[in-house]
Amino acid sequence: MTPEARISAAIEVLDRVLEGQPAEQSLLRWSRASRFAGSGDRAAVRDLVFDALRRRNSLAAAGGALTGRGLMIGLIRLDGRDPAQVFTGQGHAPAPLTEAEAVGADDTAAVDLPHWLLPLWRGALGDDADLMAQMMTERAPVWLRVNPRRGDRQQAIASLAADGIDAVADDRLQTALKVTANERRLSQSTAYRDGLVELQDLSPQLACAALPLSPGQRVLDYCAGGGGKALALASRMQPLRMTAHDADPARMADLPARAKRAGVKIEVATGVTGAFDLVVTDVPCSGSGTWRRTPDQKWRLTRAKLDEVIAVQADILRKAAPHVRPGGHLAYMTCSVFEEENGAQIDRFLQQSGFTETLRQRWTPIDASDGFFLSLSRRDG
Ligand SMILES: C[S@@+](CC[C@H](N)C(=O)[O-])C[C@H]1O[C@@H](n2cnc3c(N)ncnc32)[C@H](O)[C@@H]1O
């Protein structure tokens, strides 16, 4: 596909997203109907769509309309190029610009967040709100977690390099590597296939590294999902009696294979009984800290959905807390930056429970990578 044809495809996908279809679904529909598109084309169209969704408001302002065409015109214009050179109507290029599109608008005040969210965003981030909103319009870096069960980070860097993937160590954490080139080759790489590295953002890695662990302890990952946190903890400390649980057990379907690849033991449980030294609740949330990776989520969130997820978080805390043994710890995690899901949620829990908070930390792209929150508390007795 020519670069112009890729723009036409992105316009088609974006129009469906703007009608309410989730971005992944819309991309899948396009790629199924476009057998001629190779993997490079699909990756390029995906990048265009996600870039546009990260900066939806400012691109629509620069392109003169909140439509697929408007977003692509805005993207090209804000890149310093002339959209008339791309919108030629030749071959598979999009139709030439209308008079209004050719003039465009320039609204440098547009913020790439839904209007209703601005007070929440500003309340949560204070002086960092504008910088964070800007950072959330950029692509997120890819981070890897080195699995000490399979090797150290020098071995991981060398193995990745042999597969043409560049990664650099990070001072903040022994296990963290930032990928600097050829991230798309990761899933085929030897280091990944042999369990030497796992995909995990720096911020949740820092949160997992902050949890208290001793050999032989019983740990429950109450909202295990695909097992990112369970795997990080089991890889950090062996032996560990790690149990994974999720309200939707189907979400843990890949966990046994991932644990095998990582060389760790994780028991997948459908129900939870007994008491644990550490209970981790990596709860469902707005995902506001990860909107660089899932930009359509920020436009799909509503006040009602946020209230719903906040109620689920409170319910999970209430159900998970009794599984902490006296003197044991409860870790509450979200990938959100909003106070209502983080500090305010945990404050309400602490008021009604026999737990004392020992650590509270939030990471953002300013000091780490994705927005992520951790509260750790100890059961008093
Ligand atoms: C943020 S995701 C977990 C991600 C996972 N820990 C990881 O690192 O890959 C939240 C998970 O909570 C689960 N969940 C939702 N409601 C729950 C409940 N009431 N009890 C337990 N798990 C729940 C969801 O099915 C989802 O898999």
- Give the annotated binding-site residues: 246, 282
The closest alpha carbon to 359, from 375, 371, 345, 381, belongs to 375
Q: Where are the beta strands (DSSP E) in the chain?
A: 142-146, 166-170, 173-181, 197-199, 218-221, 241-244, 266-268, 276-282, 324-334, 355-363, 372-379
Backbone angles phi, psi at 360, to 5 degrees: -140, 125
Among protein residues, the one whose CA lies closest to atom 20 of ligand 1: 247
**Model pTM?**
0.93
Among protein residues, the one whose CA lies closest to atom 6 of ligand 1: 224
- Give the annotated binding-site residues for S-adenosyl-L-methionine: 246, 282
Q: What is the pLDDT of residue 159?
A: 98
Establish whether this prediction's ipTM goes over 0.95: yes
The closest alpha carbon to 94, from 63, 61, 130, 68, belongs to 68
pLDDT digits (tens, 9 = 90+) for 269-327: 989 999 999 999 999 999 999 999 999 999 999 999 999 999 999 999 999 999 999 99
In this structure, what token pair is assigned to residue 126? 């204070």
Q: What is the pLDDT of residue 299?
A: 96
Apex 201 CA angle, 197 and 205, nearest 5: 80
Number of alpha helices (DSSP H) and beta strands (DSSP E) in the chain: 16, 11
As annotated, the active-site residues are: 335
Note whether 148 and 156 are within 8 A (CB).
no
- Rounded distance between C-alpha atoms, residue 69 and residue 130, angstroms: 27
Apex 188 CA angle, 182 and 191, nearest 5: 85
**Domains contained in the chain, CATH given:** 3-110 (no CATH), 142-200 (3.30.70.1170), 204-379 (3.40.50.150)
C-alpha distances (whole Å) from 279 to each of 43, 268, 363 are: 39, 15, 21
* Alpha carbon of 351 to ligand 1 centroid (Å): 24
Among protein residues, the one whose CA lies closest to atom 16 of ligand 1: 247
Ligand 1 atom closest to the CA of 335, numbered from 1: 1
- Taking the chain (381 residues) in consecutive chunks of 10 residues, what is each chunk's mean pLDDT? 97 97 97 94 97 95 93 93 95 92 71 92 94 95 98 98 98 97 96 98 98 97 98 96 98 98 96 96 98 96 98 98 98 98 98 95 97 98 77
pLDDT digits (tens, 9 = 90+) for 88-130: 999 999 999 998 888 766 666 678 999 999 999 999 999 999 9
| Site to substitute for ligand 1 among 145, 222, 223, most atoms within 8 A of C-beta | 223
